[in-house]
Amino acid sequence: MDIVYIKELRIDTTIGIYDWEREIKQTLVLSLEMGHDNRPAGNSDDIAKTLDYYTISRRLIEFVGQSEMLLIERVAEECAAIIMNEFGVRWLRLHVGKPGAVPEAVDVGVVIERGERV
């Protein structure tokens, strides 16, 4: 299985459970690894045969940026569903970080893995 990745996609959104968090924008940082067979694109130089990381990035920026979820766990699940359902990805590993949530830590977050590695 080949992997297409997006590293440290920064998205400003409303996220959090506290009242003060509902009144501001905070940055979430997403990193993704997506299973995809890159051979058809590599053999043809045809972008239509790729897993288009630019289009996926734009979709996630739009979705997360407009969302007002409470938990990063939900952000992760919703993003995974979009990637798998809309882009035909069968396996992914997704990191969702919330830098600044714990002042003593560089970052905190969740990592989920969905689908079957082939």
Element (H, E) at 108: none
Q: Locate all alpha helices (DSSP H) within the chain, ordered by sequence.
A: 39-44, 53-66, 72-87
Q: How far apart are CA 59 and CA 104, in angstroms?
A: 32
The amino acid that residue 26 corresponds to is Q
* 98 belongs to the catalytic site: yes
Q: Which residues are catalytic?
A: 98
